[in-house]
Structure 1
Amino acid sequence: MKKILILHTGGTISMQENKETGGVTTTRTNPLHEWNQLAFNELDIVSEDVLHLPSPHITPAHMLRLYHHLNLRLEETNADGVVITHGTDTLEETSYAVELLYKSNVPVVFTGAMRSSDELSSDGPRNFITAVRTAASEDARAMGVLVVMNEQIHLAKNVTKSHSSSIEAFQSPDSGPIGSATQREISFYYKPCQREQDFTVSAMDKKVLLIKTYAGMEEGLFQHIISQALDGIVIEALGQGNVPPSLLPSIHSLLKNHIPVVLVTRCFSGSVHDVYSYEGGGKNLKEAGLVFTNGVNGPKARLKLIAALESHFSIEDIRKSFEHH
């Protein structure tokens, strides 16, 4: 009999509606523990609470704590697979942070819910069941950290929350899902060609800022923001990797002070490229020394840069890491 370790961290999947206020929030006890034997007669379920937080409260320090707890309990339980329940707002970030650090081939599957556990049409039970079945699948081994939502299997490094309320809220914009997870069958369409580079961190404390560009961006405001003590910055650029020219003096100042500047696109899909040579264009930015990413979005690029800095990567190591996402 396969053993599946289930780690709960909170989120809508474990929340219920307050009948007096109408608000959805955490409760004293986690209702998910009642689901442990839900159609899992053939599995040995080990379930425990690690955190009990709404996902907007999750920090990189929580992510690292979860990763260490995962490793410890994997060793202690010798589990065949792991399911982590998590709020959907930052699920893509926590799952990616674990992917950056995780070295085992044992399947790790994140899941959550868009509707609370006591709502009439809650998607939580089905997501939970399919996530557990995915974690128990031999085909899920060595696939990297996975996310299962709405009967789709995604790679943590590719998935993003694309809708604020629909149960069909998660997509992998450039690659699509890696597989499907129904109540009866787990199937994968392809295997990832490579895992993320291994990072070794003892903390996730580096201060990395994420900034989204927009038309007419003010030079003074950007200068004020980056005047704070920073270890790195990620800029969500326009289109294929272009920024308003008002940002250039501050960007050059950051580079002069050896603060890595990572460029991603603010678009839903696609990557940045060194195409345009006008002032603020991607070609000039790359020549100036900005780090170009290959498909990872802004929030994930921030976490990856934090992990790289905590791992004492040189700027060239950082550049290579982002180019080979």
Structure 2
Amino acid sequence: MKVDPELNAPRPVFDGDELLALRPDIAGLARLEVRNLFNMPSEYMGPEQWVLLQRAVNAELAREEVAGVIVSHGTDTMEESAWFLDLTLDSPKPVVLVGAQRNASEADFDGPRNLFNAVRICLSNEAREKGVVICLNDQINAAREASKTSTSEVATFKSGDFGFLGQVDPDAVRFYRSPARRQFLPLGEDTLPRVDIVPSYAGADGILIRAAVEAGARGVVMSALGCGNVPRAQYDAIRDVVACGVVVVIASRVPNGRVFPLYGYEGGGRSLADAGAVYADNLSPQHSRVLLMLGIHRGMDAKAIARLFAH
């Protein structure tokens, strides 16, 4: 991003070669080849772009001389693209998503440093078999766990209760743990199904759940309350759409902790599980949407999808 003088506001302007030109010292580390797929705000990314990105990254990873792949991406939806790639790529080589929280018109633009660090990660033997990672502010996050936690701070990506995978220091790239719950879901040829996220809140009813299904959603992710509970009116809607074959996944709007079927009242977790809803473990609503989308894409029923989330 850079400030457009006509708009007096930042917008995407850099292509890959221009980004590389900001850190000429990268040439002393590795030879980089640029592929310009999109130049758009990350808010414009969606399933169609994810598939094109996955195919492009997969093709590069298949080349013997390629050590790793770096994806420059806006931070607002970076975690969804990263998780989609992590689920659909099957390679030991590192894939690193990077972006910036400050635009290139600011004196302390963080993009060049993040790009330089991504190159160093790709060259690190420790980065192999770690899957797709996000690296900003020297911190390495696993795709499954990474979430944007601040609207503007450079240290925006966090990994919840379990912490970063590692750190990029001036003298070395160091990993201190490996992601333990990775899985692979190969992409088919069919279009990815529509899956919507519906929030829970005090006084919420079932209108948005029913509207999502009427609009063509084959799955619904609930951004539920606490450890996986919803108001009574939402429970009624969930029970009805599950009975019609729609897969409903219960995640939580709470940033940390697992969801699990605990309470027995209507709308409590036990009643939702009894109605056929699937529990998302500790995945965020946005991560859950990606996994549910791929499960449906692979032709899985609710029981098979439940096993995906329990993996």
Match of 1:149 in 2: 136
CA distance in 2, matches of 1:149, 1:27: 20
Match of 1:137 in 2: 124
Match of 2:5 in 1: 19
Q: Does 1:186 align with 2:173?
A: yes
Structure 1 range deviating more: 216-225 or 98-107: 216-225
Q: How many residues align?
A: 310
1:81-105 per-position Cα deviation (integer Å, ceiling 9, x unaligned): 1111100000000000001101010
Work out which structure has the larger RCO, using CA pairs closer than 8 Å and 6 or more positions apart in sequence. Answer: 1
Q: Does 1:242 align with 2:229?
A: yes
Picking from 65, 83, 88, the partner of 2:75 is 88
Match of 2:283 in 1: 296
Q: What amino acid is the match of 2:9?
A: G
Q: Does 1:165 align with 2:147?
A: no
- Report the CA distance between 1:33 and its aligned residue: 3.3
SS of residue matched to 1:153: strand
SS of residue matched to 1:295: coil
SS of residue matched to 2:242: helix
TM-score, normalised to structure 2's length?
Answer: 0.94
1:23-43 per-position Cα deviation (integer Å, ceiling 9, x unaligned): 001227552031464344131
**Do the aligned partners of 1:199 and 1:308 also contact (CA within 8 Å) in 2?**
no
CA distance in 2, matches of 1:203, 1:307: 11
- Report the CA distance between 1:225 and its aligned residue: 4.1
**Do the aligned partners of 1:276 and 1:282 also contact (CA within 8 Å) in 2?**
yes
**Do the aligned partners of 1:36 and 1:45 also contact (CA within 8 Å) in 2?**
no
Q: Where in structure 2 are the equivalents of 1:50-89 lying within 5 Å?
A: 50-76=37-63, 78-89=65-76
CA distance in 1, matches of 2:149, 2:195: 24
- Report the CA distance between 1:249 and its aligned residue: 2.2
**Do the aligned partners of 1:197 and 1:321 also contact (CA within 8 Å) in 2?**
no
Picking from 255, 266, 270, the partner of 2:257 is 270
CA distance in 2, matches of 1:117, 1:38: 18
Picking from 62, 67, 85, the partner of 1:98 is 85
CA distance in 2, matches of 1:271, 1:61: 30
Q: Does 1:287 align with 2:274?
A: yes
**Do the aligned partners of 2:249 and 2:279 also contact (CA within 8 Å) in 1?**
yes
Q: List gaps (5 residues or longer) in structure 1.
A: 1-14
CA distance in 1, matches of 2:14, 2:31: 26
**Do the aligned partners of 1:36 and 1:47 also contact (CA within 8 Å) in 2?**
no
Q: CA RMSD in A?
A: 1.7
CA distance in 2, matches of 1:203, 1:41: 43
SS of residue matched to 2:237: helix
CA distance in 1, matches of 2:63, 2:184: 26
Q: What amino acid is the match of 2:33?
A: V
TM-score, normalised to structure 1's length?
Answer: 0.90
CA distance in 1, matches of 2:37, 2:212: 35
